[in-house]
Structure 1
């Protein structure tokens, strides 16, 4: 408890500046890991597996969010701001019972939450997990941010019949069902964002080398039309090729004005390459064959966030935008970062910003 209190105290003083990258961007820790009020009413392993979040509504100064876990097939809601974090126990059943959805990504537009399974094979040993091949759409109340339920408590408007492969080009479709890692090139969704009427899906795998930059890598983002016609037979397009440091791929996404924030971390080879945040200014007219540059917002080092009790490891896999404001020539994004491996996600609040030259 003493170690946690000291970490929280230092973070709140704003003393924990993280080193700037070569682009002179920086990320500042504001507070965290935040203590949790309430509980998810989940067993400990699942509590440590929060892997996706989306926060479309603010109620009484708190962001109402849907969070998903890469264990089981249930979601929950939370309420969070810079000073309070409430975990709620009411289950959002993603079913079917006893399935392993491996939910890795959550997004929201003005009417619906979207929860995506990884669509990946199990890692060890490599075998098919059909339960992860799902994309679930859930209607929510825009006044409360909560899923809309019928009088019997069941979800009123939920859709679970989408086939992601219909929006993949031939190369990505061919990677579905392969083992994870660069040797096999297996398919693995980790991030999703709703932006400008479309859904964008970020992959942890497969990746490709960047032939234009020695040691660089390419991560893929593919897209689908959002509600009401989410996936159709004839709207497959080539994916965007996102340029990044070698060994990294997309671990989560969050939409902002003018683009999508990318949480970047190790690809499916699990190399120790660190974490960072970048801004992708989405251009639907861009040449899909040309790698896309992003704006680096700096490295994300949360290695000191692990607490003595309950936490196993720190793997940032969920990112939610709390606020943003202009500062100098750039935008400052206040973000809640959630980690797989930490109880209840162990959210850290950070400011990410480009630094003027």
Structure 2
């Protein structure tokens, strides 16, 4: 999503801008008060605190898609400076479980896409095939709920075929390095877990929270049309150095660049969240630069008093010096939207 300065006026005070000289410099939000949200009426109340993906149609901030990793619904919202507002009622997703675990949303201007996590269940390591789909439906200028949503399980077949995921896919591929909470008899196997997706140049790029090994996060690219309609998917895998026990938590496109929200891997260590720019080509040992870390010290807390966990990023505006990003978080009511001004160069 990319909105010009003519549509939004950046009101950030100097204190909310992090210096661009140091990559690891903490960037505070423009305001620690989240944007107002008129939330979609999800059938499952927990969905409001588990926002996991957000994207707007190109040049259309009044037509945005929000997904949650609770329940099996998605919803449209409109975006204006300072707030989000629901557009109609949420709509059902065609998945074979009451719990889908949607983890990312993107658009190429023609279609919206929603990615399931492809993972086993976090607490039990129980197999969860309903997560192993990617959904696609038309971008409708009339902003109507989709009549037809196409589903594909081809991504899982691709993942199983690639050597980078050997030993990390399938039953008992428990997340992270530690045993799951309710199955202490099973070891962690750095199981497959997708957290973000972005569309660029006819391809879909999936960012992985797991496996995350030796400081590398994985990025899988496939041909978007082939994934749904058949043909050569031409998969590519990139390894990105993000630091040990860290991985990709979301992806977005900013002026043709691929930006990644990076945070803790599936062992949930208390590490800072950062924004990385990933350089093309997205294969092999891809170059990546840490632009800045997000300062969440004064951000809202969840119901238990714990820090919120950034889960989705979207571009509001870009200048030659900075990206203005909207960040939505797990644990914060309605995503607790906060705005950060991130330097374009480390």
Fold match (TM-score > 0.5): yes
2:157 counterpart SS class: helix
CA contact (8 A) 1:26 1:354 kept: no
Kindly state the Cα deviation for residue 74 of structure 1 after the two structures are TM-superposed: 0.4
TM-score by length of 2: 0.83
What is the RMSD computed on CA atoms of the aligned residues? 2.7
TM-score by length of 1: 0.81
- Return the offset for 1:235: 3.4
- Structure 1 residue 26 displacement after superposition: 5.8
State yes or no: 1:353 paired with 2:343.
yes
1:200 aligns with 2:234: no
Give the deviation of 1:184 after TM superposition. 0.8
| Equivalent residues, number | 321
- Find the residue that maps to 2:36 and give its secondary structure: coil
Task: Note closer, same or farther for the CA distance 1:231–1:311 as it changes in structure 2 (3 Å cut).
Answer: farther
Residues 18-51 of structure 1: CA deviation (Å, up to 9, x unaligned) = 5878436663522341122354344431210100
Mapped partners of 1:86, 1:309: distance in 2 = 23
- Structure 1 counterpart SS, 2:276: strand
CA displacement, residues 219-268 of structure 1 (integer Å, 9 cap, x when unaligned): 00011111365474753535100111211100000012232100000001
**1:355 and 1:280 mapped to 2: Cα distance?**
12
Contact 1:180 1:187 in 2 (8 A): yes
Separation (CA, whole Å) in 1 of partners of 2:342 and 2:229: 33
Partner of 1:163: 154
2:176 to 173, 178, 181: 181
Query: What are the ranges of 5 or more consecutive residues in structure 2 without an aligned counterpart?
Result: 1-10, 178-187
247-256 or 293-302, which deviates more: 293-302
- 1:166 is displaced (CA, Å) by 3.2
- 1:241 touches 1:292 (CA, 8 Å); kept in 2? yes
Partner of 2:86: 87
CA distance in 2 between partners of 1:25 and 1:171 (Å):
32
Distance 1:346 1:310 in 2: 15
1:266-285 correspondence runs (5 A)? 266-284=264-282
Residues 124, 20 of structure 1: alpha-carbon distance in 2 compared, 3 angstrom cutoff: farther
Give the direction of change, closer, same or farther, for the CA distance of 1:312–1:50 in structure 2 (3 Å limit): farther
More deviation, 270-279/30-39? 30-39
Q: Distance in 2 between matches of 1:173 and 1:94?
A: 30
- Structure 1 pair 47/198, CA: closer, same or farther in 2 (3 Å)? same
2:293 aligns with 299
Counterpart of 2:102 in structure 1 is 103
Q: Which ranges in structure 1 are unaligned for 5 or more consecutive residues?
A: 1-10, 150-154, 210-216
Instruction: Report the 3-state secondary structure (helix = DSSP H, G, I; strand = E; otherwise coil) of the residue aligned with 1:131.
Output: helix
